[in-house]
A and B are shown apart, each in its own frame.
Chain A
C-alpha cells in the first residue's frame, strides 16, 4: 500500500524544471482559452492541475510538448525555451518528457509488444533485439501486464490500456511525465490502482509530473501541490488540504 505523497525530499530548494510565464492561446476570435497562465513545477514534484472541462488544462500541457503552439508567453522546460527550438532540438526535449494521453493512444495496428518497441527501436539504437525484448518485458512487468504482451489494443480493457500507455511512456525513461486525465472512465478500484502506479513511478524514477484530473481521490493521493485553472488563468495554488479547506465556494465545490 502506498501512502500519499508527503514531501519526502527537500523539494522547496529544488530548481524549477517547468516554467510557464504569461501563456496565451486562442482558437479564433472570441475563443481565448488561455489568458496568461503562470505555472512553475519543481524537480521531483507532482503537480495536479484542476479545472472545469474546456478550461484549457490539456492545451497547457500540449503547449509544453510542442503539440500546440502558444500565441504568446514563455515556456521553458529544463531551461530551454520550447518556442525557440528547431525540430531536432524539440525532439530532443520531447525525449526527456513523457505524455500519457487520455485514452492511452495505443497504436491500434500494433500488438502491445510492438507498441512498446516502437519508440525504443528508434531512439535506443544501441540496444540489441535481446535487450529490447528484456526492456519491454520489464516495462510491462512494472505495470503488471506482462501476460498481455502479444495482445492487440482492441483486446484490452480501459484500465489495461492506460497501464500499457504508461509503460510505453516510461520506456524511454522520461524525466517529466505529463498525464492527461489518467483515471477518467475507470472504476474507483482501477482508478486507485493507476493513481498508486503514478505515485510509485514518481518515487522509483524520481520523475516530475503534471497530472490533469477530475478525480479528487487521484489528486489527493498523488499531488504535492494543486493548481486550479479558471477563465484561462491559474486561479489558486496550494496543497490538497489548503484548497480543501478554502472558503471560496467555487474551489470548495471540487472537493464535495
Chain B
C-alpha cells in the first residue's frame, strides 16, 4: 500500500514537472509555428469525419428517444430546444472529447513513445533542438485549439441530426426548428460548456505527450503509452466535467 501511494505521488510529481516545463517553454521563442499548424491539421482536421458522424447520430438518436416522452406530456414543441440544450451542454463536448481521447491522445502517445524508443527524441536533443518545444508544446497547443472547434462543429452537426430526427415523425421547417432552439438557448448554456472543452483539449494533448515522452525503452512500452494515454485522458475528461459543472452551477445560481 505504501509503495502504491509512493508510486502515485511520484507520478503526480512527474506530471506537475511536465506541466511546468510546458508553461515555461510555451512563452519562450523560437515558436514552432509550422509544426503547430501541421499538428492542427493532423489532429483536428483528421478527427473531423469521426466527430461529425458521431455528432449527427447523437442528435438524431436523442431526438427520437426523447420524442415519445415529450409527446406523452404534450410538450413536443420543446423537443428542439431540449435536444439542443443536451447536445451543447453535455453530450457533444463529452462525446467529442472521448473520441479525441481515443484517436488523438493515443496517437500522440504512440507517436512520441515510438520516437522515444527509436532514439529520435535523443537525436533531436543532441542536435541542440529542444524536443519538448518541438513535440510537446506544438501538440498540446494544437489539441487545446482544435478540440473546442471540433465540439462546436459537433454541436452544429448534432443539432442538424436532431432536425432530421424531428422530420421522421413530423414535418418542421429548418427555420422554425432553429428559431425554437434559439428561443430556448442562452449564452450561459453555450459559453461555459465551450470553455470546459479548452481544458479537455489541453489535457488530451498533455496526457498523450506525457505518456509518450516518458515511455520506457522497448517496443512494448509504445503500446502501453498509447493505451494508458486513452485511459487516463478519458478519466481526466470526466473529472474536468464534474469540476466544470460545479463552476457552472455556481455562476447560474449566483
Contacts and interface: CB of A to CB of B under 8 A. Distances in A.
- Say what secondary structure dominates the interface of chain B: helix
Interface in B122-152: 122-129
A109 B118 CA distance: 13
Interface residues of B, number: 15
B111 to A, nearest CB: 8
A161 B114 CA distance: 17
Contacts of B115: 107-108
B118 A123 contact: no
A179 interface: no
A99 B126 contact: yes
Most buried by A among B111, B125, B126: B126
A105 B118 contact: yes
B119 A94 contact: no
Contact of A95 (B111, B119, B128): B128
Interface residues of A, number: 25
Contacts of B120: 105-108
B123 A101 contact: yes
Contacts of B128: 91-92, 94-95, 119, 122-123
Contacts of B122: 62, 67, 99, 101, 105
Interface of A: 62, 65-67, 91-92, 94-95, 97-99, 101-103, 105-109, 118-119, 122-123, 168, 172
Interface of B: 30, 111, 114-115, 118-120, 122-129
Given A95-B128, A106-B120, 13 more contacts: A65-B126, A67-B122, A67-B126, A94-B128, A101-B119, A105-B118, A107-B115, A107-B123, A108-B115, A118-B129, A122-B30, A122-B129, A123-B128
